[in-house]
Protein backbone atom coordinates (compact mmCIF):
# COMPACT_ATOMS: atom_id res chain seq x y z
CA UNK A 1 0.00 0.00 0.00
CA UNK A 2 2.89 2.35 0.83
CA UNK A 3 4.47 1.66 -2.57
CA UNK A 4 1.14 2.34 -4.27
CA UNK A 5 0.85 5.72 -2.56
CA UNK A 6 4.43 6.60 -3.54
CA UNK A 7 3.73 5.83 -7.19
CA UNK A 8 0.57 7.94 -7.16
CA UNK A 9 2.49 10.84 -5.60
CA UNK A 10 5.12 10.61 -8.33
CA UNK A 11 2.41 10.56 -11.02
CA UNK A 12 0.67 13.63 -9.59
CA UNK A 13 4.00 15.41 -9.24
CA UNK A 14 4.75 14.78 -12.91
CA UNK A 15 1.23 15.94 -13.88
CA UNK A 16 1.74 19.20 -12.00
CA UNK A 17 5.00 19.86 -13.81
CA UNK A 18 4.22 18.68 -17.34
CA UNK A 19 0.48 19.28 -17.59
CA UNK A 20 0.03 15.67 -18.75
CA UNK A 21 -3.11 13.65 -18.12
CA UNK A 22 -2.96 11.02 -15.37
CA UNK A 23 -2.68 8.12 -17.86
CA UNK A 24 0.08 9.83 -19.87
CA UNK A 25 2.09 10.67 -16.74
CA UNK A 26 1.67 7.11 -15.43
CA UNK A 27 2.74 5.62 -18.78
CA UNK A 28 5.86 7.78 -18.91
CA UNK A 29 6.91 6.89 -15.37
CA UNK A 30 6.31 3.18 -15.97
CA UNK A 31 8.33 3.32 -19.18
CA UNK A 32 11.21 5.00 -17.37
CA UNK A 33 11.06 2.47 -14.56
CA UNK A 34 10.98 -0.41 -17.06
CA UNK A 35 14.04 0.90 -18.88
CA UNK A 36 15.94 1.24 -15.62
CA UNK A 37 14.96 -2.28 -14.59
CA UNK A 38 16.12 -3.73 -17.92
CA UNK A 39 19.47 -1.99 -17.64
CA UNK A 40 19.94 -3.26 -14.10
CA UNK A 41 19.13 -6.95 -14.78
CA UNK A 42 22.00 -9.45 -14.99
CA UNK A 43 22.15 -11.32 -11.75
CA UNK A 44 22.92 -8.45 -9.45
CA UNK A 45 20.33 -6.61 -7.43
CA UNK A 46 19.71 -3.13 -8.75
CA UNK A 47 20.03 -0.54 -6.00
CA UNK A 48 16.91 1.46 -5.39
CA UNK A 49 17.44 5.11 -6.34
CA UNK A 50 16.83 7.80 -3.80
CA UNK A 51 13.40 9.38 -4.12
CA UNK A 52 13.52 12.73 -5.89
CA UNK A 53 11.02 14.85 -7.78
CA UNK A 54 10.92 14.54 -11.59
CA UNK A 55 12.74 17.15 -13.61
CA UNK A 56 10.93 20.22 -14.78
CA UNK A 57 9.51 19.87 -18.32
CA UNK A 58 11.70 21.26 -21.11
CA UNK A 59 8.73 22.53 -23.07
CA UNK A 60 5.55 23.61 -21.28
CA UNK A 61 2.32 22.74 -23.06
CA UNK A 62 -1.08 23.95 -21.97
CA UNK A 63 -2.95 21.70 -19.58
CA UNK A 64 -6.34 20.23 -20.51
CA UNK A 65 -8.01 22.90 -18.41
CA UNK A 66 -6.19 25.72 -20.19
CA UNK A 67 -6.56 24.18 -23.63
CA UNK A 68 -10.30 23.81 -23.18
CA UNK A 69 -10.56 27.41 -21.96
CA UNK A 70 -8.76 28.51 -25.12
CA UNK A 71 -11.25 26.54 -27.23
CA UNK A 72 -14.14 27.98 -25.23
CA UNK A 73 -12.89 31.51 -25.94
CA UNK A 74 -14.12 31.02 -29.51
CA UNK A 75 -17.64 30.47 -28.17
CA UNK A 76 -17.33 33.58 -26.01
CA UNK A 77 -16.29 35.70 -29.00
CA UNK A 78 -19.11 34.26 -31.11
CA UNK A 79 -21.70 34.98 -28.40
CA UNK A 80 -20.44 38.57 -28.30
CA UNK A 81 -20.56 38.83 -32.12
CA UNK A 82 -16.81 39.40 -32.40
CA UNK A 83 -14.86 38.11 -35.44
CA UNK A 84 -11.64 37.38 -33.52
CA UNK A 85 -10.69 35.97 -30.14
CA UNK A 86 -9.27 38.81 -28.08
CA UNK A 87 -7.62 38.70 -24.62
CA UNK A 88 -10.95 39.58 -23.00
CA UNK A 89 -12.57 36.47 -24.49
CA UNK A 90 -9.74 34.30 -23.13
CA UNK A 91 -10.28 35.92 -19.73
CA UNK A 92 -14.03 35.32 -19.84
CA UNK A 93 -13.61 31.68 -20.88
CA UNK A 94 -11.01 31.01 -18.18
CA UNK A 95 -13.28 32.59 -15.57
CA UNK A 96 -16.04 30.03 -16.20
CA UNK A 97 -14.44 27.17 -14.25
CA UNK A 98 -11.20 25.82 -12.86
CA UNK A 99 -8.28 27.70 -11.36
CA UNK A 100 -9.20 31.17 -12.63
CA UNK A 101 -12.81 30.82 -11.50
CA UNK A 102 -11.56 30.05 -7.99
CA UNK A 103 -8.99 32.85 -8.01
CA UNK A 104 -11.47 35.48 -9.16
CA UNK A 105 -14.16 34.19 -6.78
CA UNK A 106 -11.75 34.84 -3.91
CA UNK A 107 -11.66 38.45 -5.13
CA UNK A 108 -15.46 38.59 -5.41
CA UNK A 109 -15.50 38.48 -9.23
CA UNK A 110 -17.65 36.18 -11.37
CA UNK A 111 -17.65 35.45 -15.09
CA UNK A 112 -21.00 37.23 -15.31
CA UNK A 113 -19.46 40.38 -13.86
CA UNK A 114 -16.70 40.26 -16.49
CA UNK A 115 -19.30 39.79 -19.22
CA UNK A 116 -21.37 42.74 -18.00
CA UNK A 117 -18.30 44.99 -17.82
CA UNK A 118 -17.27 43.90 -21.31
CA UNK A 119 -20.69 44.71 -22.76
CA UNK A 120 -20.63 48.12 -21.05
CA UNK A 121 -17.27 48.74 -22.69
CA UNK A 122 -18.78 48.13 -26.14
CA UNK A 123 -17.77 44.48 -26.45
CA UNK A 124 -21.04 43.34 -28.07
CA UNK A 125 -20.87 43.53 -31.85
CA UNK A 126 -23.65 43.95 -34.37
CA UNK A 127 -23.11 41.12 -36.86
CA UNK A 128 -23.62 37.37 -36.45
CA UNK A 129 -20.41 35.33 -36.29
CA UNK A 130 -20.49 31.60 -37.04
CA UNK A 131 -17.82 28.99 -37.65
CA UNK A 132 -14.26 28.94 -36.31
CA UNK A 133 -13.11 32.22 -34.79
CA UNK A 134 -9.38 32.97 -35.20
CA UNK A 135 -7.29 34.58 -32.49
CA UNK A 136 -6.15 38.15 -32.96
CA UNK A 137 -2.53 39.21 -32.62
CA UNK A 138 -3.31 40.31 -29.06
CA UNK A 139 -4.92 36.93 -28.38
CA UNK A 140 -1.80 35.13 -29.60
CA UNK A 141 0.34 37.44 -27.50
CA UNK A 142 -1.71 36.51 -24.43
CA UNK A 143 -0.99 32.82 -24.99
CA UNK A 144 2.71 33.46 -25.51
CA UNK A 145 2.98 35.63 -22.43
CA UNK A 146 1.12 32.95 -20.44
CA UNK A 147 3.55 30.26 -21.60
CA UNK A 148 6.57 32.40 -20.69
CA UNK A 149 5.07 33.32 -17.31
CA UNK A 150 4.61 29.63 -16.55
CA UNK A 151 8.19 28.89 -17.65
CA UNK A 152 9.49 31.58 -15.31
CA UNK A 153 7.69 29.75 -12.50
CA UNK A 154 9.02 26.35 -13.56
CA UNK A 155 5.56 25.03 -14.44
CA UNK A 156 3.51 23.95 -17.41
CA UNK A 157 1.04 26.68 -18.44
CA UNK A 158 -2.50 26.38 -17.08
CA UNK A 159 -5.47 28.73 -16.84
CA UNK A 160 -4.03 30.87 -14.04
CA UNK A 161 -1.13 31.74 -16.33
CA UNK A 162 -3.62 33.18 -18.83
CA UNK A 163 -4.25 35.87 -16.22
CA UNK A 164 -0.53 36.62 -16.19
CA UNK A 165 -0.48 36.70 -19.98
CA UNK A 166 -3.00 39.52 -20.43
CA UNK A 167 -1.22 42.48 -22.08
CA UNK A 168 -1.15 45.45 -19.71
CA UNK A 169 -2.84 47.76 -22.23
CA UNK A 170 -5.56 45.27 -23.20
CA UNK A 171 -9.26 45.67 -22.52
CA UNK A 172 -9.09 42.50 -20.43
CA UNK A 173 -6.48 43.94 -18.06
CA UNK A 174 -8.49 47.16 -17.81
CA UNK A 175 -11.64 45.17 -16.96
CA UNK A 176 -9.80 43.34 -14.17
CA UNK A 177 -8.57 46.63 -12.73
CA UNK A 178 -12.10 48.03 -12.94
CA UNK A 179 -13.36 45.01 -11.01
CA UNK A 180 -10.68 45.37 -8.33
CA UNK A 181 -7.77 43.15 -9.44
CA UNK A 182 -4.86 45.59 -9.66
CA UNK A 183 -2.07 43.01 -9.41
CA UNK A 184 -2.95 39.74 -11.19
CA UNK A 185 0.52 38.29 -10.49
CA UNK A 186 0.06 38.73 -6.74
CA UNK A 187 -3.36 37.06 -6.92
CA UNK A 188 -1.95 34.08 -8.83
CA UNK A 189 1.21 33.67 -6.77
CA UNK A 190 -0.72 33.80 -3.48
CA UNK A 191 -2.74 30.73 -4.50
CA UNK A 192 -0.07 29.05 -6.67
CA UNK A 193 3.28 29.92 -5.08
CA UNK A 194 6.45 29.32 -7.07
CA UNK A 195 8.14 26.15 -5.83
CA UNK A 196 10.44 25.25 -8.73
CA UNK A 197 13.30 26.89 -10.53
CA UNK A 198 12.57 28.63 -13.83
CA UNK A 199 12.97 26.62 -17.00
CA UNK A 200 16.23 27.12 -18.86
CA UNK A 201 16.27 29.91 -21.47
CA UNK A 202 15.14 28.63 -24.83
CA UNK A 203 13.29 25.63 -23.39
CA UNK A 204 10.14 26.86 -25.09
CA UNK A 205 11.86 27.58 -28.39
CA UNK A 206 12.58 31.21 -29.27
CA UNK A 207 11.87 33.44 -26.24
CA UNK A 208 9.18 35.37 -28.07
CA UNK A 209 5.44 35.54 -27.54
CA UNK A 210 4.62 33.99 -30.92
CA UNK A 211 7.05 31.07 -30.61
CA UNK A 212 6.07 30.43 -27.02
CA UNK A 213 2.39 30.37 -27.95
CA UNK A 214 2.98 27.89 -30.76
CA UNK A 215 5.04 25.63 -28.50
CA UNK A 216 2.43 25.70 -25.74
CA UNK A 217 -0.39 24.91 -28.19
CA UNK A 218 1.52 22.06 -29.87
CA UNK A 219 -0.60 19.24 -28.50
CA UNK A 220 -3.70 17.25 -29.28
CA UNK A 221 -6.77 19.04 -27.89
CA UNK A 222 -8.93 17.29 -25.36
CA UNK A 223 -11.87 15.68 -27.12
CA UNK A 224 -14.74 16.02 -26.63
CA UNK A 225 -14.34 19.50 -25.28
CA UNK A 226 -15.81 20.83 -22.06
CA UNK A 227 -19.43 21.66 -21.42
CA UNK A 228 -20.37 24.97 -23.03
CA UNK A 229 -21.40 27.30 -20.23
CA UNK A 230 -24.89 28.71 -20.03
CA UNK A 231 -23.97 31.96 -21.73
CA UNK A 232 -25.41 35.25 -20.55
CA UNK A 233 -27.56 35.53 -23.68
CA UNK A 234 -29.54 32.44 -22.67
CA UNK A 235 -32.95 32.96 -21.13
CA UNK A 236 -33.82 31.29 -17.85
CA UNK A 237 -35.76 28.54 -19.63
CA UNK A 238 -32.91 27.88 -22.08
CA UNK A 239 -30.38 27.76 -19.24
CA UNK A 240 -32.61 25.31 -17.37
CA UNK A 241 -32.91 23.17 -20.50
CA UNK A 242 -29.14 22.86 -20.78
CA UNK A 243 -28.86 21.92 -17.11
CA UNK A 244 -31.68 19.41 -17.55
CA UNK A 245 -29.80 17.87 -20.48
CA UNK A 246 -26.76 17.37 -18.27
CA UNK A 247 -28.98 15.85 -15.57
CA UNK A 248 -30.49 13.49 -18.17
CA UNK A 249 -27.03 12.26 -19.21
CA UNK A 250 -26.16 11.56 -15.59
CA UNK A 251 -29.47 9.82 -14.87
CA UNK A 252 -29.09 7.61 -17.95
CA UNK A 253 -25.41 6.98 -17.09
CA UNK A 254 -24.23 8.21 -20.46
CA UNK A 255 -20.62 9.26 -20.76
CA UNK A 256 -21.25 12.47 -22.72
CA UNK A 257 -24.10 14.91 -23.25
CA UNK A 258 -25.49 14.42 -26.77
CA UNK A 259 -28.09 16.29 -28.86
CA UNK A 260 -30.68 13.73 -27.73
CA UNK A 261 -30.11 14.81 -24.11
CA UNK A 262 -30.74 18.40 -25.19
CA UNK A 263 -34.06 17.28 -26.67
CA UNK A 264 -34.95 15.66 -23.34
CA UNK A 265 -33.86 18.75 -21.48
CA UNK A 266 -35.71 21.31 -23.53
CA UNK A 267 -38.97 19.32 -23.55
CA UNK A 268 -38.76 19.00 -19.77
CA UNK A 269 -39.86 22.63 -19.32
CA UNK A 270 -42.52 22.86 -16.57
CA UNK A 271 -44.06 26.04 -17.99
CA UNK A 272 -43.91 28.50 -20.87
CA UNK A 273 -44.17 28.04 -24.64
CA UNK A 274 -42.49 24.62 -24.65
CA UNK A 275 -44.78 23.28 -21.93
CA UNK A 276 -47.79 24.48 -23.92
CA UNK A 277 -46.38 22.75 -27.00
CA UNK A 278 -46.09 19.52 -25.01
CA UNK A 279 -49.77 19.80 -24.09
CA UNK A 280 -50.92 20.38 -27.68
CA UNK A 281 -48.80 17.55 -29.10
CA UNK A 282 -48.67 15.24 -26.11
CA UNK A 283 -48.87 11.90 -27.90
CA UNK A 284 -46.17 12.36 -30.61
CA UNK A 285 -43.81 14.23 -28.31
CA UNK A 286 -44.16 11.63 -25.58
CA UNK A 287 -43.37 9.00 -28.20
CA UNK A 288 -40.28 10.99 -29.23
CA UNK A 289 -39.14 11.23 -25.61
CA UNK A 290 -39.57 7.49 -25.13
CA UNK A 291 -37.60 6.85 -28.32
CA UNK A 292 -34.85 9.19 -27.08
CA UNK A 293 -34.50 7.29 -23.81
CA UNK A 294 -34.42 4.01 -25.71
CA UNK A 295 -31.73 5.26 -28.11
CA UNK A 296 -29.59 6.64 -25.30
CA UNK A 297 -29.74 3.49 -23.16
CA UNK A 298 -29.44 0.71 -25.73
CA UNK A 299 -25.67 1.14 -26.15
CA UNK A 300 -24.88 0.59 -22.49
CA UNK A 301 -23.05 -2.67 -21.91
CA UNK A 302 -23.61 -4.84 -18.85
CA UNK A 303 -20.81 -5.18 -16.31
CA UNK A 304 -19.05 -8.53 -16.43
CA UNK A 305 -16.74 -10.14 -13.88
CA UNK A 306 -13.80 -9.95 -16.29
CA UNK A 307 -14.42 -6.22 -16.73
CA UNK A 308 -13.95 -5.69 -13.01
CA UNK A 309 -10.71 -7.68 -13.01
CA UNK A 310 -9.19 -6.12 -16.13
CA UNK A 311 -10.65 -2.63 -15.48
CA UNK A 312 -11.70 -2.52 -19.15
CA UNK A 313 -15.07 -1.84 -20.74
CA UNK A 314 -16.43 -0.45 -17.52
CA UNK A 315 -19.92 1.10 -17.59
CA UNK A 316 -19.91 4.66 -18.85
CA UNK A 317 -19.41 7.21 -16.10
CA UNK A 318 -21.89 10.06 -16.34
CA UNK A 319 -20.27 13.41 -17.05
CA UNK A 320 -21.11 16.95 -18.11
CA UNK A 321 -18.82 17.01 -21.17
CA UNK A 322 -20.61 17.67 -24.45
CA UNK A 323 -19.99 15.79 -27.67
CA UNK A 324 -18.98 17.91 -30.66
CA UNK A 325 -22.52 17.92 -32.19
CA UNK A 326 -24.09 18.90 -28.85
CA UNK A 327 -21.53 21.63 -28.33
CA UNK A 328 -22.21 22.89 -31.85
CA UNK A 329 -25.92 23.10 -31.05
CA UNK A 330 -25.51 25.06 -27.84
CA UNK A 331 -22.65 27.34 -28.88
CA UNK A 332 -23.41 27.99 -32.55
CA UNK A 333 -26.56 26.52 -34.12
CA UNK A 334 -28.82 28.24 -31.59
CA UNK A 335 -27.22 31.56 -32.61
CA UNK A 336 -28.14 30.95 -36.24
CA UNK A 337 -31.74 30.15 -35.29
CA UNK A 338 -32.07 33.27 -33.13
CA UNK A 339 -30.59 35.44 -35.89
CA UNK A 340 -33.02 34.01 -38.42
CA UNK A 341 -35.96 34.78 -36.16
CA UNK A 342 -34.69 38.20 -35.14
CA UNK A 343 -33.93 37.41 -31.50
CA UNK A 344 -31.02 38.72 -29.41
CA UNK A 345 -31.65 36.44 -26.45
CA UNK A 346 -31.35 32.68 -26.88
CA UNK A 347 -34.53 30.99 -25.72
CA UNK A 348 -35.60 27.41 -25.12
CA UNK A 349 -37.59 27.70 -28.34
CA UNK A 350 -34.45 28.60 -30.28
CA UNK A 351 -32.67 25.64 -28.71
CA UNK A 352 -35.52 23.27 -29.59
CA UNK A 353 -35.55 24.47 -33.19
CA UNK A 354 -31.79 23.93 -33.42
CA UNK A 355 -32.27 20.37 -32.15
CA UNK A 356 -35.14 19.72 -34.58
CA UNK A 357 -32.91 20.89 -37.45
CA UNK A 358 -29.93 18.81 -36.31
CA UNK A 359 -28.47 16.24 -38.69
CA UNK A 360 -27.25 14.11 -35.80
CA UNK A 361 -28.05 10.45 -36.54
CA UNK A 362 -29.74 9.79 -33.21
CA UNK A 363 -31.87 12.92 -33.50
CA UNK A 364 -32.96 11.90 -36.99
CA UNK A 365 -33.93 8.47 -35.68
CA UNK A 366 -35.78 9.89 -32.68
CA UNK A 367 -37.73 12.44 -34.70
CA UNK A 368 -38.85 9.74 -37.11
CA UNK A 369 -41.81 9.14 -34.78
CA UNK A 370 -43.07 12.74 -35.22
CA UNK A 371 -45.67 12.80 -38.01
CA UNK A 372 -46.27 16.53 -37.51
CA UNK A 373 -42.66 17.63 -37.10
CA UNK A 374 -43.00 20.59 -39.48
CA UNK A 375 -46.11 21.82 -37.66
CA UNK A 376 -44.34 21.59 -34.32
CA UNK A 377 -41.35 23.53 -35.69
CA UNK A 378 -43.67 26.20 -37.11
CA UNK A 379 -45.41 26.64 -33.76
CA UNK A 380 -42.09 26.95 -31.94
CA UNK A 381 -40.86 29.53 -34.45
CA UNK A 382 -43.94 31.70 -33.88
CA UNK A 383 -43.09 32.38 -30.23
CA UNK A 384 -39.54 31.17 -29.47
CA UNK A 385 -38.56 33.97 -27.08
CA UNK A 386 -41.45 34.49 -24.68
CA UNK A 387 -39.25 33.86 -21.65
CA UNK A 388 -37.56 35.84 -18.93
CA UNK A 389 -33.89 36.56 -19.48
CA UNK A 390 -31.33 34.82 -17.27
Q: What pLDDT is stored for residue 390 in this prediction?
A: 53
Lowest mean pLDDT among 5-19, 118-132, 215-229: 5-19
b/e map 278-311, b = 16+ CB within 10 Å? beebeebbeebbebbeebbeeeeeeeeeeeeeee
* Mean pLDDT for all residues in the chain: 83
Q: 16 pLDDT band (50/70/90 cuts)?
A: low
User: What is residue 242's predicted lDDT score, i.e. its pLDDT?
Assistant: 95
Per-residue pLDDT, 134: 96
pLDDT of residue 49: 42
Q: Output the pLDDT for position 113.
A: 97
**Three-class SS state of 262:** helix
**345 phi/psi in degrees, rounded to 5:** -80, 155
Contact 115, 390 (CB under 8 A): no
Q: What is the pLDDT of residue 385?
A: 65
Q: Where does the pLDDT of residue 313 fall: very low under 50, low under 70, confident under 90, or very high at 90 and above?
A: very low
Query: 164 to each of 85, 177, 219, 255, 295, how far by Cα in Å?
Result: 17, 13, 21, 34, 46
Query: 64-217: which CATH architecture?
Result: Orthogonal Bundle (1.10)
Question: What DSSP string describes 2-15?
Answer: HHHHHHHHHHHHHH
- Phi and psi at residue 205, in whole multiples of 5°? 90, -150
Residue 386 CB contacts under 8 Å (≥ 6 apart), including other chains: 272, 273, 347, 349
Q: Which residue has the higher pLDDT, 306 or 133?
A: 133
In the predicted model, what is the mean pLDDT of residues 313-326?
A: 72
Range 253-279 average pLDDT: 92
Model confidence at 205: pLDDT above 50? no
The structural domains of the chain, with segments of one domain joined by +, span 2-34, 64-217, 236-382
Work out the number of other CB atoms within 10 angstroms of the CB of residue 191.
Answer: 11
Domain 236-382 in the same topology as domain 64-217:
yes
pLDDT band at 299 (very low <50, low <70, confident <90, very high): low
pLDDT band at 285 (very low <50, low <70, confident <90, very high): very high
**Dist. CA 336–CA 324, nearest whole Å:** 17
32 vs 237, higher pLDDT: 237
The closest of 143, 179, 154 to 62, measured between CA atoms, is 143
- Whether 111 has a pLDDT exceeding 90, the answer reads yes
Which pLDDT does position 386 carry in this prediction? 57
Range with lowest mean pLDDT among 172-176, 177-181, 366-370? 366-370
**Residue 71 pLDDT > 80, yes or no?**
yes
C-alpha–C-alpha distance, residues 348 and 334, integer Å: 9
pLDDT tier for residue 310 given thresholds of 50, 70 and 90 = very low
Query: What's the rounded mean pLDDT across residues 266-282?
Result: 90
| Residue 126 to residue 218: CA distance in whole angstroms | 34
CATH of domain 236-382: 1.10.1780.10
Q: Say whether the peptide bond before residue 224 is cis (omega within 30 degrees of 0).
A: yes
Q: Give the DSSP per-residue string, 11-48.
A: HHHHHHHH---HHHHHHHHHHHHHHHHHHH-SSSPPPP
**Which of 26, 2, 30 minimizes the C-alpha distance to 14?**
26
CA distance 145 to 164: 7
- Residues in Cβ contact with 184 at an 8 Å cutoff, skipping those fewer than 6 apart: 163, 164, 166, 173, 176
* Contact partners, residue 285, CB within 8 Å, separation at least 6: 267, 277, 278, 370, 376
Using the predicted structure, report yes or no on whether residue 6 has a pLDDT greater than 90.
no
pLDDT tens digits, residue range 330-373? 999 999 999 999 988 999 999 999 999 999 999 999 999 988 88
Taking only the tens place, the pLDDT of each residue in 34-70 is 555 444 444 444 444 444 433 333 446 899 899 999 9
For residues 289-307, give the mean pLDDT.
73
Q: How many CB atoms lie within 10 A of CB 357?
A: 13
Q: Note the pTM of the prediction, 2 decimals.
A: 0.78
pLDDT of residue 289: 94
Q: Which of these, 372, 375, 386, lies nearest to 341 by C-alpha position? A: 386
Whether 250 contacts 316, CB under 8 Å: no
Amino acid sequence: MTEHRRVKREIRSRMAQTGEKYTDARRALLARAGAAEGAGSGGTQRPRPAARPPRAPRGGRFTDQAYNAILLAQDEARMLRQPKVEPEHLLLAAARRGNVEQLLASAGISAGAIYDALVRAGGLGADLVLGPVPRSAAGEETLGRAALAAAERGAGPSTQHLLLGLPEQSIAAALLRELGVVDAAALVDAAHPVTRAPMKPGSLGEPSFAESARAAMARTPASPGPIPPVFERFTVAAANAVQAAVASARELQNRYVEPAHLLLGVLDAPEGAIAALRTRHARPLDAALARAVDVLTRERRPVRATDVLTRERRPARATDIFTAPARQLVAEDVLAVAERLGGRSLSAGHLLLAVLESKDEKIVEILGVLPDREQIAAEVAEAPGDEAHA
